[in-house]
Amino acid sequence: MSNLRIDLDRLMGRIQRLGQVGALEGGGVCRLALTEEDKAGRDLVVGWMKELGLEVSVDRIGNVIGVRAGEVEGPPVTTGSHIDTVATGGLYDGNLGVLAGLEVIETLNEAGVTTRHPLAVGFFTNEEGARFAPDMMGSGVHQGALSLEACLATEGIDGTTVGNDLVRIGYAGETPVGEFCARAFIELHVEQGPVLEEEGTEIGAVTGVQGISWTEYSISGVSNHAGTTPMRLRHDAGYVAAAIATFARRIARDMGGDQVATSGVIELEPNLVNVIARRAKVTVDLRNTDESLLQEAEQRMAARVLELAGEEGVEITARSLARFQPVDFDAGMVDLVAETAAGLGHSVRRMPSGAGHDAQMFAPNCPAAMIFVPSKDGISHNVREYTAPQEIAAGANVLLRVMLSAASS
């Protein structure tokens, strides 16, 4: 059994095939959560799960889990990730973890291996949070961190709700949420950052995930003529949105360390060259590996927003879109990943994750960890996202061995 290896061509074939669903010109893919493209991707993966003999269930938030029986009953050693993407997504973010999970199952099927404990492969609804906030929605509901009812009622960027869209695409399942218990959770994912590639390291043993804070600010000012309105009489929503965005950058610069800050959305109304904006929307994404520092960043932002409202005479309302504390993965599982990778002859680095992941939702409820493989030029959430096939094979073989270990003990 120690010679068992995944079939790289078969895994790459599935990655390419799924990448054709919602394919963008010039590479990459757009499969925003609960769109027609997401439905087509889901149908494809569910078809593969059934071909592999998995017992497939769909839960009330649309998470899909396929279970392979073991010698004994009980909680499965679970892997998986997501197949939704951002609008400018690559082929690997999320998809790799799901399809590598299927590859592990097919490898074991072919070799006639039955594990002691059951295995499961899942994909979780709306991990990206790009169409409906928060991110990690499906795994969050699955593991009891988010309310099913609140998530079903969540309105997205185009005005529909999660609940309605689940019904529309046929993935409003009946399996209750909050009952699934994993014996362990292990997720393979691309790093989405530059560290492994820069060092020439093959495998990341992920120690945890940094905290995430998303806030949307809606600003109401007064529209007026750009040429005739004296500066002292302006209530410029556009200026305030820009000031919030630049202040977010300043927080990260001043705090240093692991603090990062991003304004990914700025929308202005009426968005015309010679009209002072009457309304603006700006989002701020703050992340830190340290909860108290993340709170400090949030407080600095909130204080400046209050000042800006007074200075410019505009109204600003803040809405939290996502808030997750930093997560530490299980030390034993992280060791298992690192030792397994080293045992297969790979260079390994222990590292935190900068991106949010489904595994973090499992971490409070079962031993959880992640395996990272390098991302070329550290690029992700971009159609240029790329990980070389040999690097994928390394990650998938580590996944195979970690699942075998966790399912045998």
CB of 131 to ligand GLV, least distance (A): 12
Among 37, 84, 93, 298, binds Mn ion (CB under 5 A): 93
The residue (of 137 and 205) whose beta carbon lies closer to ligand GLV is: 137
Check binding of 128 to ligand GLV (CB under 6 A).
yes
3-state secondary structure of 235: coil
Query: By C-beta, is 293 or 406 nearer to ligand GLV?
Result: 293
Residue of 22, 66, 94, 163 interacting with Mn ion (CB under 5 A)? 94
Binding-residue total with ligand GLV (CB under 6 A):
6
**Dihedral sign computed on CA atoms, order 371, 257, 264, 141:** positive
CA atoms within 13 A on the CB side of 290: 9
Q: How many CB atoms lie within 10 A of CB 181?
A: 13
Between CA 82 and CA 68 the distance in angstroms is 19
**Shortest distance, CB of residue 356 to ligand GLV, whole angstroms?**
4
Written as six digits, the tokens of 386 are: 């790329």
Q: Which is nearer to ligand GLV, 118 or 204 (CB)?
A: 204
Cα gap 190→321, rounded to integer Å:
25
Distance CA 47, CA 258 (A): 42
> Cβ 128 to Mn ion, closest distance in Å?
5
Shortest Cβ 355–ligand GLV spacing (Å):
4
Residue 187 binding ligand GLV, by CB under 6 A: no
How many other CB atoms sit within 10 Å of the CB of residue 388?
12
Interface segment toward ligand GLV; rule CB under 6 A; list 125-133, 175-183, 251-259, 333-341: 125-133
Residue 94: name its binding partner from Mn ion, ligand GLV, none (Cβ under 5 to 8 Å by kind): Mn ion
Min dist CB 129 to Mn ion, Å, is: 9
Task: Supply the DSSP symbol for 376.
Answer: G
Nearer to Mn ion, 93 or 103 (CB): 93
Which residues in 296-355 contact ligand GLV (CB under 6 A)? 355
CA dihedral 368, 374, 380, 385 (to 10 degrees): -130
Q: Does residue number 89 form part of the binding site for ligand GLV (CB under 6 A)?
A: no
- For residues 39-61, b (16+ Cβ closer than 10 Å) or e, as one string? bebbebbbebbeebebebbbbbb
Pairing status of strand 203-209 against strand 327-328? antiparallel
Name the residue whose CB lies closest to Mn ion. Answer: 94
**Rule CB under 5 A: which residues touch Mn ion?**
93-94
**Rule CB under 6 A: which residues touch ligand GLV?**
127-129, 135, 355-356
